[in-house]
Each structure stands twice: as C-alpha cells, then as structure tokens.
Structure 1
Amino acid sequence: MNAAQERVAESARLGRPGGAGGQGTPNSGNSPEAGGSAPTIDDFVNSPQSVAGRSAEEIAQVFRDAGYDATVEQSTKKGTSGNAVQVRIDRHPEVTNVQVHPGGGRHTPAGSPYWKISTSTKGKIWVVPADFKGADQLNGTIIRYE
C-alpha cells in the first residue's frame, strides 16, 4: 500500500463511531492529495470522487452545515464485514446515504477504502480504488480513484 492509500484508509477509519471520538481528520481538498475548496453536497452527486479521502464524520458535517440531519452509525448489515460506517441523511432531495468502508474484506485489502453514495436521482454511485474486486457485479455507477 502506498502513502496516499494509507492516509485515505486512516481517514476512513477515523470516521467510524468510536474511532478517535468519531471525528475525522480534516481534509481541505476535493481529493486525498490535492488542495481545493471544501466539498458541497452537489459535489457528492456531480463529482462523486470528492468523497474520496473523507471520513464519515466529515461527510456528515457537510450535510449538517447545509441544514440537513446526518447521523453516523456503524453498519450492522448481516453477511458483510461489518467494517462499513453509514452516514444517514434525512430530508435531502437527492442523497439518502453515504457508506464509508475503510477497506478489508471481499472487495479490497485492508487500508484500501471505498465509498458508496445512494441517491434518489442517480442510484448508487461507488467510488473505489484501482484494487477493488467485484466492481462488475455491483449495481450502479463505478468511479475509480487513485
């Protein structure tokens, strides 16, 4: 795993409930490595790769800052690794949920995170690393990041 992947994985882990107090590491850019303005909700739909490198808590805060209720909770779905964290968004007209997975499990090795954005307008949008396995079996749009 390279240094960039390690930073992204750590950020994803920090956004887990109970991980570092549930607080993510601030990321001022729209990508894990590049600087830029803080993302907006529109970025998450129109430029989904803007979630890459962001913790669940950081994503939730973007929605809270825009006036929406956003709750971060550990995933409890049976048949999964249990490592994913859900950001549940109430009352937003497009984005209903963002899943943050720190990596490890059937899709990626440990430390290789990915995100799934669930929308009411574009369906599921997966933001995944190059080493993601099984992308061809997923429903939705697949966007790769490096």
Structure 2
Amino acid sequence: MIRRYGESPARGQNYTRRAGVYAILPVDGGLLATLQTEPLPELQLPGGGIDRGEHPVAALHREVFEETGWSIAVECRLGAFRRFTYMPEYNLWAEKICTIYLARPILRRGPPTEPAHRAVWLPMAEAARQLGNPGDRAFFADFLRRTGF
C-alpha cells in the first residue's frame, strides 16, 4: 500500500494515474530544489512524469536537468507516495504516484530548460518548511531525521 498525502480523491471525479520521479538533492548543508512559477508559485523537489517506455532513473536524470540545469548521481530509491491533484498545465485530474530518490548534484550544465522553473538552493531547515506539497515535505523530513542534518 502506498501512503497518500494531501487531499482525498473527490467523489465522482475520474483521475488519470501518472507515475513520476523526484529527487532529494542535498549538498553542503542545503537542498537543490526547483521553483515552479506557473501556474502557481511552488517550491518542489525536482522531478516529474515518466514518459512511456522510459526507465524511471533515466526520467529522473532528464527531469532534474530540465528543472534545474544540473546533472546528478542517483544514490538510492527512498520510497513512494501518492496524491490526488488537479494539474492545470495539462488540464488533468491526476493520481500521482511519486517515487522519491536520493541523489547528488554533480555538474551545473546551464539554466533550466523547462519553462517557468528556476533552480533554488535552500537551507535544510527552510526546505523542510517550504516545500509545496505534503508528500515532498514528509519524505524530506524523514531524510533529515535519518541523516541528522
């Protein structure tokens, strides 16, 4: 059973299942996150949807680069959660299956290529409070507890 974070599914609403991958990216006492400015500003763990036929780790590399401009080294899978949400950029009600990985930023290759995204460095304590969705916050808080940051 995958734990759910956030809103309960709305009665009578059809949801499309959408698998995605996201990374906790710690370095030098901070966290590399992404600020998605549209449709609403939100700090997020970098990541996103897995394309049909794409391996999850390949999707993670692609999505982190698109949203931050950084190449990463993936260390391990931390777990998964699901959330029910409306995605206005796709006009889609989605059941998002979010798999979280621990990875390290390796090389900044340029600015983000994904429109309306910006790479942001956050102090660990600030990230724990400011990540935009409860699943990201829960996985990050668990990471902080386990690592002692």
Band of TM-score, shorter chain: under 0.3
Instruction: Report 1 or 2 for greater relative contact order, CA contacts < 8 Å, sequence distance ≥ 6.
Output: 2
**TM-score of the superposition, structure 2-length normalised?**
0.26
Q: TM-score, normalised by structure 1?
A: 0.26
Richer in strand (by share): 2
- The structure having more radius of gyration, on CA atoms, is 2
